[in-house]
Chains A and B, each alone.
Chain A
Amino acid sequence: MPLRIYLSNDTSARAAGAERLAEAWAREPELEVVRTSSRGAFFLEPLVERDTPEGRLLWPQARPDDLPRIRAGDGGVPLSRIPFLAEQQRAVFANFGTAEPLSLAHYQRHGGWRGSERAMGLSPEELISEMKRSGLRGRGGAAFPVWHKWDIARRTEADQKYVVANADEGDAGTYCDRMIMEGEPFRLIEGMLICAKAIGANRGYVYCRWEYPAAAMTMQRAVAEAERAGRLAVDGRPFRLEVFRGAGSYVCGEETALLSSLEGGRGMVKVRPPYPAVSGLYGKPTVVSNVLTFATVTEILARGADWHASLGTATSKGTIALQLGGRIKQPGLVEIPFGATLAEVLERFGGGMADGSRFKAVQVGGPLGSLFPESRLEIPLCFDAFNEAGAVLGHGGIVVFDKETDMVELARHYMTFTAEESCGKCTPCRIGSARGRELLERIEAGRGTAGDLALLADLGETMKATSLCAHGGRAPYPVLTALEHFRDEFTRRFSHGAVHPAHH
């Protein structure tokens, strides 16, 4: 019997060298390399695993010449000895690391299709009440109650309804949707089938961002596999599912822009109401939800609403998938129940700051999220607390900045990002972000004045209050929180010109 070893095929793992290992070992005799999903502990990649009678053993940061050690079983670490993984409470990502992305057999053996099979036996009303009891809220950023969206789509009469998975995961430092599509694509398909059953849809689309070629490819294959296996059906009618690739626009993560793009138009935001659940794709009722949301739906149907409702806080039920990045020791995916504090997560899972660096700020919720200084890290990770703080959990991205970071440059960078990704439809975002970027460029170049800061704040208030969508409405937050917590870095530029703060 050849030795079976497991190696992730996830894009992050490949970037860390998994492909080099796979190539090096391709012609090794008596060796079977099984490509799997990733555990999301990217600081350990490339991570090689093998089965032992005591369970899996892991060889972190493996090199080609580690093969003899792995064959011999030398130096392998059991999962329980890696706190980053052992201390998580994984549900949606429970199979990550073992799941073989396109193996229907593996998926079935590890609980696959249980959720959708159960759903097919329930009525739409029962499904919606199941979602209501679970307390699931959308994971894309807006945190809208899933049951409510489904119920509106279900009640709206139409000859055609759609289910659309938002896989336009554009926030810098987020990757959990990509992991799902690359690692356990059937889980997403299942969630979409369950939704289709609940609302009465027979067509679905996965809107996958252009920058995720591997995810799109895997999804396409998974759809074909599922279809071949007769899984793409709702109430005996075929459910047609297609993977659609976006064209590289950040704002197409906004649901109405996404739908415009999917229809073949410019990816521009539309006014709401009507919401997509009433009038979405081609004017038909459409549920647009994030990939992680659908993946969670699958788990809720498999395990029951009560299981989900038992996790998390009063209004933030279930688990949150945090994606740690930036200047910390242990970047990677962390799935835990809602409610832990930001400080706790950074310390316990992030493992503290990377060697030689000191903490300065952390941004939660993507490029439109607020910055938190050290004094604000006790905030619990749940929707309400963030809402009260005027911040957002967004899609769970957490990026840590160290003392080397120039906050003026960072603020300018964010406003530049907003300006470059603005769809150009509404005035506060289209012109406001351009003016904001110019003000910050001026300050960065040492030509700013106190009046510029006041103008920036005034502009920020108007952008927040009047923008058509969250792109313009949230854009001021990173800038204004940088200004709030690190004001002296801005004022210092007035007289001294462009100086890197590390030189002080």
Chain B
Amino acid sequence: MAPSIPLTINNRQIYADAGDTVYTAAANAGIAIPSLCASAQLSPYGSCRLCVCEIDGMKGLHASCSMPVRAGMTVRTESDQLTKHRRNLVELYLSERPAGQRLEQLADLAKAYGVTEVRYPPGAERAPIVDDSSPFFTFDNQRCISCARCVRACDEIQPAFAVSLVGAGFAVRPAWGAAGLDGGGGVASSTCVSCGACVKECPTGALTEKTILQEGPPTTFVRTTCAYCGVGCALEAGLRDGRVVSMTPADDGPANHGHACLKGRFGWTYNYAKDRITEPLLREGSSWKRAGWDEALDFIARSFSRLKDEAGPDAVAAISSSRGTNEENYLFGKFIRCVMGTNHIDNCARVCHSATVTGMMETFGASAATNSIRDLDAAKLILVAGANPTESHPVLGAKLLQLARRGVPLIVIDPRRTEIARAATVHLQLRPGTNVALLNGLGHVIAAEGLVDQAFVEARTEGFADWQSTVEEYPPDRVADLTGVPADAIRRAAVMYATSGASLSVHGLGMTEHRWGSHGVMALCNLALATGNVGRPGTGINPLRGQNNVQGASDSGCLPTHYVGYQRLNDPAVAARHQTITGRPLPSRRGMKIPDMWDAALEGRLKGLWIIGYDVAQTDPNLNKVRAALARLECLVVQDLFMSQTAKFAHVVLPGASFLEKDGTFTNLERRIQRIRKAVDPPNGILPDWQVVCEVSTRMGYPMRYGHPSEIMAEMAALSPMLAGVSYERLEQPAGLQWPVPDPQHPGTALMHEERFARGNGRFVAVDYLPPGEEPTPDYPFVLITGRLLEHYNCGAQTRRTDIIHLVDSDVLEVHPEDAARLGLRDGDLVRLVSARSSAVLPARASSRVRPGELFTTFHFPDSDVNSLLSSSADDSSKCPEYKVSTVRIERLDDDEELDPEDEAERRRVHSRLGMVP
């Protein structure tokens, strides 16, 4: 709706929105009012008073930042008296700073108001306090103006409450840490999550990134998209002398609205890590030979040609990177189909959200978020199912915390008491592996209490009766026995979800990475169908995709089951279009999924494998099997930024270009296609992955010639109805495009299934509870859950090579305090986790985030080898591995037990961090 409230500012008639203040209305109309403490991201505060204005009919002056607009009001923002007062205020700011200090942002104001000297006699100055304890930024009190934008950002945007004002009167200043009124141990001792919101809000440079202090402020900016999680934060890469020196979230970023997390904001310095691979490497026995690009590319082309000739197309497979661009993924798919002639291509989505793909395809007919991130604001209730967004999708997690503070009810389904669970109205703390039972229990209550949306069910769905008779078998008391969740909580959550008016679900790997993950997703979709919570703003089923482009990698056709745009491999029309555009036939037989590839390699059927940007030898489950499979390959090609665990098995290692070094697009968890832009040159002339694929393809007799990724996107648009309206020209807009975009005029799709489901009717798929792959036994009495920490990302290859390592430098086993006491474990003790597959040595810590009998850890560090403990158990239909349930036992390591050097180093590191005397 267009602004409709008329008012006059400086003799100009403008129109404002109902929520506007004079300040925001003026800003929208291009009228600048000076201010230091106002921010579009924060509520009005009224500290600097520079924005005072005159309003007809009102006595005195009024701060425009806190004055709501009123129809017909007449405002003046410039006058002699206003100028005089602003001048005096700027002079006051200058008077509290030590003489000779650089004025930074205050300099412009001093110039504008002609403050050339401070008239006051020398008096009190700001205390010389510096907080240098964060690895990422510094606070200098003498450059601060006590406007509390940092405090407000920490409260309102992140809500972390790490910084507050301390002191009184003149001495008021922000301080981090919790030790008394003088401020305490600084940022490092506080609840700071290093999101950097305070630094971004600081108007004077009192808070500054350390990279900027070291290398100088950026002189130009390049707009790009974060390459960590699936939220898809828009970032501005700050450049100076051809190097990145800062990374700032963009205010008009459609997914992040000016916010970021520590990984996106500060976790990019791996780009300059000393151990980046900068030239191709060829295996020579047990060591490596540096090779030129031509030599390496020729070798790859020759090897794959030979394998194809000798053993047929099925002897070669490819695993694409969910971190790479859409264009690279598409091209890799094109290579495997047009050059090799198979559909043996998969991507990391297999091990995270493939169960979502299966589950949502069956029920809704499309396997992506039904709604948009902005819909969180329209939701009246949010269900967080098996997701840990404050750590894994921090910007979205911060949004959820904001909503919880605003009173929006949250239901959290998670075996662990995570940060978001603590903020929940109802936390359904279920036994790992019992999602289906719990969701059916919710369904039971909804059906039994007459809370089904009959009109929706009749008009838009099929299969209801099946579902109804299935959930009938799941009364709350039975479900309480199966899941460990009290029956009352089940009833309460079910009623809340069904009656809120708009219930939006987000789910994560806690739903999918199970023996029956697809069933869990279906059970979740069933609830949305039964209550009419889909197809409207503020509702829906929204998978939180883990990697920056895991959505796009699947969209682009890096699936053994679907072609670009989720088109069927056996559809003659698709095949014909493929033939026309690519000049080659589309292989129609389904290819191998990643776990199938390991079996095929072990059996000798698969001989060649090309992996781009995916460390299977650290992150896939049952690592001993994966490693054995990799070792059997005749030709393994790995492209990566660093010498990953997987690369160690390779015959050829090619260096990769980072997201800062190439052009392309990523698709975020709300189906939003956004640009990444080349900000800096890759080191040593490294080729981006798309060019590598082109080179190999051309050498194998199928020339691929593209001048720029935009040409690749044009080809994808021509091949896929879902992407038909996408072009780089249109992607220049800050909002990008949300697929489906069926034609060049189509605005994109923020909300799916509005009139009809992608498959026509929504389909209830009745599913029964089945037990997880493993249940505790006397030998393996604990259930191990694996997951992520805020600080690190997946295999940690990037985050471990940044200053984030100063925050967390080891995987840690979380043990419930009762279990820890029973086992005699002190924080920091090394333990050996033993499963039927393998064992791993980790430091343990007592934590009530887990329940007795359950354990949690991460696999961010290769040393701990956590994934070797896991089995190959996976979801039946999608092959999504069961990362969330493994049974193990804990063995204490005696202090004098001899360890291998890696574990011994770990023990020393942990002990020194905990301040323990060895």
Residues of A within 8 A of B (CB): 266, 268, 270-273, 419-428, 430-435, 438-439, 442, 451-452, 455, 458-459, 461-462, 465-468
Contact = CB atoms under 8 A, between A and B. Distances in A.
B89 interface: yes
A466 B168 contact: no
A427 B171 contact: no
Contacts of B85: 461-462, 465-466
A437 B390 CA distance: 47
Contacts of B119: 451, 455
Interface string B71-95: 0000000000100110011001101
Contact of A273 (B47, B68, B88, B120): B68
A419 B92 CA distance: 14
Contacts of B123: 434-435, 438
B63 interface: yes
Nearest to A431: B92
Contacts of B45: 271, 425
A152 to B, nearest CB: 14
A381 B55 CA distance: 30
B718 interface: no
Given A422-B168, A422-B170, A455-B120, A435 B92 contact: yes
Interface string B160-202: 0000110111111000000000000000000000000000000
A249 to B, nearest CB: 8
Nearest to B168: A424
B88 A458 contact: yes
B685 interface: no
Contacts of A466: 49, 52, 61, 63, 85, 89
B42 to A, nearest CB: 12
23 contacts: A266-B164, A268-B165, A419-B169, A419-B170, A421-B169, A423-B172, A425-B45, A426-B47, A427-B47, A427-B93, A428-B88, A430-B146, A430-B169, A431-B96, A434-B123, A434-B170, A439-B121, A442-B121, A462-B85, A465-B85, A466-B63, A466-B89, A468-B63
Contact of A424 (B48, B52, B121, B171): B171
A427 B49 contact: yes
Contacts of B164: 266
A450 to B, nearest CB: 13
B901 to A, nearest CB: 52
A303 B63 CA distance: 42
A426 B93 contact: no
Given A428-B88, A466-B89, A468-B49, 12 more contacts: A266-B164, A268-B165, A271-B46, A271-B65, A426-B46, A427-B89, A427-B92, A430-B172, A434-B124, A462-B88, A466-B63, A468-B46
B135 interface: no
Nearest to A464: B60
A271 B63 contact: yes
A434 B169 contact: yes
B217 interface: no
A149 B124 CA distance: 41
Nearest to B151: A266
Interface string B802-830: 00000000000000000000000000000
Nearest to A454: B119
A462 B84 CA distance: 8
Contacts of A431: 92-93, 95-96, 170
Top 4 A-B pairs ranked by shortest CB distance?
A: A424-B172, A271-B66, A271-B46, A438-B123
Contacts of A422: 168-170
B119 to A, nearest CB: 5
Contacts of A272: 66
A467 B49 CA distance: 7
Given A271-B45, A435-B120, A424 B167 contact: yes
B44 interface: yes
How large, as a class, is the contact surface on chain B?
35 or more
A121 B470 CA distance: 57
Interface in B585-617: none
B291 to A, nearest CB: 64
Contacts of A421: 169
Contacts of B96: 431, 434
A86 B93 CA distance: 55
B655 to A, nearest CB: 53
A430 B121 contact: no
Contacts of B81: 465
A458 B91 CA distance: 12
Contacts of A434: 96, 123-124, 169-170
Residue among A268, A420, A424, A455 with most chain B CB within 10 A? A424
Nearest to A463: B88
Contact of A438 (B52, B67, B120): B120
B52 A465 contact: yes
Nearest to B46: A271
Q: Which of A271, A272, A420 has the most CB of B within 10 A?
A: A271
A428 B47 contact: no
A173 B453 CA distance: 67
Interface in B245-263: none
Given A435-B95, A455-B119, A428 B49 contact: yes
Contacts of A430: 146, 169-170, 172
Contacts of A426: 46-49
Nearest to A266: B165
B169 A424 contact: yes
Interface in B36-67: 44-49, 52, 60-61, 63, 65-67
Interface in B79-126: 81, 84-85, 88-89, 92-93, 95-96, 119-121, 123-124
A421 B168 CA distance: 8
Nearest to A270: B46
Contacts of A433: 169-170
Contacts of B68: 273
A71 to B, nearest CB: 54
A172 B67 CA distance: 33
Contacts of B46: 270-271, 425-426, 468
Contacts of A425: 45-47, 148, 172
A438 B124 CA distance: 9
Nearest to A420: B169
Given A268-B165, A271-B46, A424-B172, A465 B61 contact: yes
A130 B44 CA distance: 36
B78 to A, nearest CB: 15
Contacts of B171: 424
A497 B638 CA distance: 85
Contacts of B167: 424
A428 B46 CA distance: 11
Given A427-B47, A434-B123, A462 B165 contact: no
B419 to A, nearest CB: 21
A398 B520 CA distance: 74
Nearest to A424: B172
A273 B146 contact: no
Nearest to B52: A466
Nearest to A455: B119
A85 to B, nearest CB: 40
Contacts of A432: 92
A149 B66 CA distance: 20
A435 B125 CA distance: 10
B147 to A, nearest CB: 8
A86 to B, nearest CB: 41
A256 to B, nearest CB: 10
Contact of A428 (B89, B121, B146, B168): B89
Contacts of B124: 434, 438
A183 to B, nearest CB: 33
A302 B65 CA distance: 44
A268 B155 CA distance: 15
A268 B67 CA distance: 19
Given A271-B66, A273-B68, A466-B61, A424 B49 contact: no
Nearest to B88: A462
A281 B362 CA distance: 49
Contacts of A462: 84-85, 88-89
